[in-house]
Amino acid sequence: MKRTRARLLMEPGTNVFGDPESILKPERRQKPRIYDPIFVVVRGLDALGNKYQFSTIARNIGPGGICAYTPQLMEAGEKITVHIKFARAGSTPSEAPRVAASAVVVRVEKQFNGSYLFAASFLLYRFLYQ
């Protein structure tokens, strides 16, 4: 698989540079992921029932879920709503495809800079049209 400048779509068993020989641990995913910075908005309720909303950049997105950075401490099992805005080369922002998804947080990891990385599994998603 060749590395492209605009978008990197990963097949199972390849690393970020597309070289299957240099993988340190085997890929567990069965479906490809998009490893490209994609703008997302996350909404949810914290453990106390307070609403929160934040914008972030996804680390990767696949057909079954999303992994993204968060300033908000989240817990596994928490239900969230994710709005994803994809970018298309040569299009205006209003023409970019958008997806709304309900998801459940499956993992949260604290990062060295004090932020968090969360992984969520999609429960239901739909494309939004203008």
b vs e for 107-126, b when ≥16 Cβ sit within 10 Å of the residue's Cβ? ebeeeeeeebebbbebeeee
Where are the chain's structural domains? 1-34, 37-128
Q: From CA 100, how far away is CA 38, in angstroms rounded?
A: 14
Average pLDDT, the chain: 79
* The CATH number of the domain covering residues in 37-128: 2.30.110.10
pLDDT at 23: 45
Q: Is the pLDDT of residue 113 over 80?
A: yes
What are the pLDDT digits (tens) for 49-87? Answer: 899 999 999 999 999 999 999 988 899 999 999 999 887
Q: Which residues pair with 69 in a beta bridge?
A: 117
What per-residue confidence (pLDDT) applies to 53? 96
Structure tokens at 93: 């922002």
- Whether the model clears a pTM of 0.95, i.e. scores above it, the answer is no
